[in-house]
Amino acid sequence: MKNVVNYYETIDEDSRFSRNSRKIEFLTTTHVLNNILPQQARILDVGAGTGVYSLYYAKRQHDVAAVDITPKHVELLINKAIQSGINLEANVGNATDLSRFDSETFDFVMCFGPMYHLTDSNDRNTCIQECLRVLKKGGFLAVAYINKYSVIPMLATRDKKFIRKSVIDKVMNEGVFFEGNEDCFWTDAYFTSPEEIEALLVTHGVTAVDHAGTDGISHTIHEYVDKLGTEEFESWLSYHFQTCRERSILGISTHGLYICRKN
């Protein structure tokens, strides 16, 4: 995970949701979760980044603990919490080892970053096992992932030199990229599909609750979505909320969110 940590230490992850086309992922995620979360839940944010979700839910009187593998992110999160007078716990840690937390401690676990970068299938399974271990029976696990079907359309609009057979084959058949390889356009990354993420979670004996494409096609057509005025964006968001669970939209959405319940 060294490449991933180094990557996030050098970029401004804190500004990720500043544009319309990126903000829609956050707005959709909270829209979906707010219909499921119990009042004053004990929440674990695994792969919390700079804390956008941790701070959002802590402000709403939930009891939040956050873990992220990047020290800079945790430092930013703690500083923002202090400046806002928000009480939450934040630590540097790996999503595959949540041993600092006791079993069956949380009502809700958000795993929003790790699946993007866990290139080893054993690590992905360990991550899910750990998230479920610390979750109370009947509690909810929300897993975010990057949909492999969205990757090539995204590259066509941003960096067309990667539109070549070797990249397409790797995205569609392997879904795993390592920084430094000639076909890698990001850092170490894992891309999956709605069907594959559902199949993975089924092997862990959970019950499906919801599955949504959190940005639909907004990320792919970002230049147009970013130019929408306030009222236009609100209308676009309404359309998106009505369609984000449609399988055809879910199949092309850049980010997906799968929510399940621990039995």
pLDDT band at residue 11 using 50, 70 and 90 as cut-offs: low
User: What pLDDT is attached to residue 1?
Assistant: 67
pLDDT band at residue 164 using 50, 70 and 90 as cut-offs: very high
pLDDT mean over 153-168: 94
User: What pLDDT is attached to residue 18?
Assistant: 76
Contact of 126 with 1, CB cutoff 8 Å? no
The CATH number covering residue 154 comes to: 3.40.50.150
Is pLDDT at 103 greater than 80 in this prediction? yes
pLDDT mean over 171-186: 94
Across the chain, mean pLDDT equals 94
Give 11 or 263, the one with higher predicted confidence. 263
Long-range Cβ pairs for the range 220-223 (8 Å, 24+) = 220/150, 220/153, 220/154, 220/157, 220/252, 220/254, 221/21, 221/157, 222/19, 222/21, 222/22, 222/157, 223/157
N- to C-terminal Cα distance for the chain? Answer: 31
Is pLDDT at 100 greater than 80 in this prediction? yes
Is pLDDT at 141 greater than 80 in this prediction? yes
Contact of 249 with 123, CB cutoff 8 Å? no
Closest CA to 206 of 86, 113, 121, 109: 109
The C-alpha atoms of residue 128 and residue 200 are separated, in whole angstroms, by 9
- The angle at the Cα of 190, spanning 188 to 191, to the nearest 5 degrees, equals 140
- Residues 22-68: pLDDT tens digits? 899 999 999 999 999 988 999 999 999 999 999 999 999 999 999 99
Which domain range does residue 20 map to? 2-261
Separation of CA 62 from chain center: 20
Give 67's strand partners: 46, 91
Q: Which residues contact 54 (CB under 8 A, 6 or more apart)?
A: 43, 45, 48, 64, 66, 77, 81, 88, 90
Is pLDDT at 15 greater than 70 in this prediction? no
Closest CA to 240 of 27, 10, 19: 27
The one-letter amino acid code at 145 reads Y
pLDDT band at residue 4 using 50, 70 and 90 as cut-offs: confident
| Region of poorest pLDDT, from 54-58, 99-103, 141-145, 218-222 | 218-222
Q: How many CA atoms lie within 13 A of 160 on its CB side?
A: 2
- Residues 69-97: pLDDT tens digits? 999 999 999 999 999 999 999 999 999 99
Please state the domain count of the chain. 1
Q: Which residues contact 116 (CB under 8 A, 6 or more apart)?
A: 144, 145, 146, 189, 190
User: What pLDDT is attached to residue 252?
Assistant: 94
- In angstroms, what is the C-alpha Rg of the chain? 18
Task: Report which secondary-structure segment, H or E, holds 237.
Answer: helix 230-243
- Residues 228-259: pLDDT tens digits? 999 999 999 999 999 999 999 999 999 999 99
